[in-house]
Amino acid sequence: MRTSLLVSSLMLSVASLAAAQTENDAVNLWLSGDDAAALPALAEEAASGDEDAQLLLGQIDRDTVAGGYSRYVLSLSPLERNRLLRANIEDGTRNWLLEQESRDLGPLSEALFNYRVTRDSIPMAVELQKEGETASAEYLLWTVLDNGRFDLLNTVPADNHGLLDMEALAWVRAYQERDDKRLTLAGLAEDPAPGMIPGLLLLKRLSPLLGLEDEIGAEVVDAIDVLNGRALSRNRAGLYDLNAWLDAVAPSDPHLATLQRYCESCDEAGDGTICMSDALAVVSGYRTLMTVRSPIERVVPTEAYFASERPVALLQDLVRNRTPYYAGNVNSACVVALNEEGAAQN
């Protein structure tokens, strides 16, 4: 089964990589993962009036993960970073999202700039969905629900542009319609549906309210602990089975598939599966993994983004920057090796 999954995953990856291109060369360079070359090219395009470059730079500057965990960006002084990522105006630098003069792009730019700081998450999620930024909209709604605020679903307006059709909620609804509600790892791995992993985490949050706690098998509870980044505090004896499960379901989930690609780039350590649980622990779980996502779909479609090298490069920087805080606790030689290799290259 493992060999079959890897072959299928590889074929899908090769097919997807062919489509991982946009019409903008500077954007494609950024998708390759090379910030040192891509960001100056994007800055030049943005200064010449290219709207895609302006939107992408605005979101890179605004997004903590895309900007704050890049080794190249971290190497810059505040002034150098501002000159590279922001619009230059007489009274100082300003985020490109706030510089949009086009009336058509105004609502999109405002939504992209404000969604991380808003306290009114549901209306902002609806606004992002309306503007076609489905990945950001669904992530925003998912975090609200993962915080246990299922009551806020009642505040989602009827005209929500399909936001409530997100895959995670669809998976939860399909589960609720099942006659047999018992959850096991084998059952979850048999036919992993889109949205299963974020849906499973929401279901665990919701289970006390629905009286479903006894329906979630002990091994599934253990798997949820690993997904939530608790592998380093657990007894290691049972983790290999859980990591085999992670490896099996990863091709059906873009965030876990990114993690799988990151771990498979370590050829000699021989612990690619244990790498996944340790890396999840280092980044504080799947919730953080979800932040490594397409920054703006108008410029880079989600499928092209996940097929590119960009999410793996971001994840590598994210894991590398956080691993020192777990010194002595990381069991994966793969994580250690990849971090040492990356540090030597920078």
Task: Determine the longest span between alpha carbons in the chain, in angstroms.
Answer: 65
The per-residue pLDDT for 187 is 93
Instruction: Enumerate the β-bridge partners of residue 192.
Output: none
Task: Count how many residues are written for the chain.
Answer: 346
Rg of the chain taking only CA atoms, in angstroms: 20
The per-residue pLDDT for 114 is 83
Report which of 339, 324, 314 is spatially closest to residue 34, judged by C-alpha positions.
314
The per-residue pLDDT for 15 is 41
Alpha-carbon distance of 177 to 169, in angstroms, equals: 13
Alpha-carbon distance of 172 to 64, in angstroms, equals: 30
What one-character-per-residue DSSP string does 178-215 give? -S---B-HHHHHHSPPTTHHHHHHHHHHHHHHHT-GGG
The per-residue pLDDT for 207 is 93
Which helix (H) or strand (E) is 94 found in, with range? strand 92-94
Per-residue pLDDT reduced to its tens digit, 108-165: 888 888 876 677 789 999 999 999 999 989 999 999 999 999 999 999 999 999 999 9
Distances (CA, A) of 194 to 155, 174, 200: 25, 12, 11
Residue 213's CB is within 10 A of a number of other CB atoms, namely 10
The per-residue pLDDT for 16 is 45
- Residue 33 tokens read as 């993962």
Distances (CA, A) of 220 to 98, 100, 241, 318: 45, 47, 11, 27
How confident is the prediction for the chain on average, in pLDDT? 83
E-strand spans in the chain?
87-89, 92-94
Handedness of CA 70, 261, 302, 183 (dihedral sign): negative
The per-residue pLDDT for 330 is 81
Predicted structure pTM score: 0.85
Contact criterion met (CB below 8 Å) for 202 and 139 = no
The per-residue pLDDT for 2 is 35
3-state class (DSSP) for residue 183: strand
Alpha-carbon distance of 318 to 338, in angstroms, equals: 12
Which helix (H) or strand (E) is 88 found in, with range? strand 87-89
Contact criterion met (CB below 8 Å) for 341 and 268 = no
Pick out the chain residues at pLDDT < 50.
1-19, 66-67
